[in-house]
Structure 1
């Protein structure tokens, strides 16, 4: 009997035409676990995809959140990242699931996100875009054994480019928001990379402050990219 990739409970397959024709993740998750993945819906920030449902009115200006307004008012960062789109909200269930995926090396868990990730990409981005996963440092890659952003990018079944390298620093998850914002650029461009006029979609697991994505986008724009957007699995 097939079991759920998260809770290992039995999968009860009730094959209906709706399920067979849908893009659901029912083949790898039980209904209880699947219901805990909260897809982003309703009104969101036009830049970072932050849901407005639980955001106080004073933290938004028309269709943009206050955080993105601050980015846009900074001459260095204005329009560096055109937009981010995320699939799920970063709730406790997804936090634990990503911990299994990233830190415990359960590579197979990425498959539960496949259809929703592909659907979100198709809805918001052009398939002709250059797909660039956010890289890990060599030290972090050795520690984990794989780059979770690249695994997510591979779910799209599109050509992947890896023009960036990353400096090894303290884990971003351990830093406060203000510390992340003060971090110097941790990315470098590989030699002989041509990006003039390219439209790029960065891939990463979580959008939190947007600092990491903007640092990567800054380097790519300096290398000639026409535009840089991002697709992340979760919006923190």
Structure 2
């Protein structure tokens, strides 16, 4: 096997952790994985009950997202499968991926958030539909904050009392997640959390 990031051979010799079922099969080498800075940054705001971002949006993260999303290297969804399972493996919570607009999804050929969850073998419910083709990464901060409704709920809410967890690849201003949370809360959902793979860390 080779590292999905640098294409160098992985050490596939079995260890005692393998025999005990502790160590998971790796899809990237330790050198590449060390480039990602784990931060486990958690915040709350007036709409989202919590947002948990796993990694800093550093140069390694930028390169990863470019290769994964825009070069359509869907195999890279495996890289963070274990990390996502560690924070989303709760059968009492309902996992809801942030969707792409159907037109943008056809252009890219896949939804990156769905791919991340499927690689991690995390069950999810597609409850939201994006109402605009515009891409957040192409807008300024002020344009993002000024946007109106971005999502609508397209399926029945099975339990208003359950915890719903939105999942996205990156948290920037939080506009996308807040709009998604508002759409769910307008349908009676009481608690909405979020998990993102990356978040920019601004120096104080």
Pairing partner for 1:198 from 162, 182, 200: 162
SS of 1:40's equivalent? strand
Contact 2:78–2:120 under 8 Å retained in 1: no
* Cα distance per residue 1:1-58 (max 9 Å; x no partner): x211011122234543357655567x211222111111115xx4542xxxxxxxxxxx
- Per the normalisation by structure 2, the TM-score is 0.87
Which residue of 2 is the match for residue 151 of structure 1?
Answer: 115
Unaligned segments of structure 2, at least 5 residues: none
* Cα distance per residue 1:92-144 (max 9 Å; x no partner): 1111111111111111101011111111334xxx4211111001101110111
Pairing partner for 1:94 from 61, 64, 72: 61
Which residue of 2 is the match for residue 54 of structure 1?
Answer: none
Distance in 2 between residues matched to 1:35 and 1:86, nearest whole Å:
17
Counterparts in 2 of 1:194 and 1:118: CA distance versus 1, 3 Å: closer
Query: How many residue pairs end up in the alignment?
Result: 199
Distance in 1 between residues matched to 2:138 and 2:128, nearest whole Å:
23
* Cα distance per residue 1:147-183 (max 9 Å; x no partner): 1111122244343211211123332111111111111
Pair 1:169-2:133 in alignment: yes
Counterparts in 2 of 1:16 and 1:159: CA distance versus 1, 3 Å: closer
Most deviating of 193-202 and 175-184: 193-202
Which residue of 2 is the match for residue 210 of structure 1?
Answer: 174
Distance in 2 between residues matched to 1:31 and 1:191, nearest whole Å:
41
Contact 1:23–1:115 under 8 Å retained in 2: no
Which residue of 2 is the match for residue 224 of structure 1?
Answer: 188
Which residue of 1 is the match for residue 3 of structure 2?
Answer: 4
- Per the normalisation by structure 1, the TM-score is 0.76
Which residue of 2 is the match for residue 29 of structure 1?
Answer: 28
* Cα distance per residue 1:46-81 (max 9 Å; x no partner): 42xxxxxxxxxxxxxxxxxxxxxxxx5xxxxx2x21
What is the root-mean-square deviation of aligned Cα atoms in Å? Answer: 2.1
Pair 1:85-2:49 in alignment: no
Distance in 2 between residues matched to 1:40 and 1:18, nearest whole Å:
26
Unaligned segments of structure 1, at least 5 residues: 48-71, 73-77
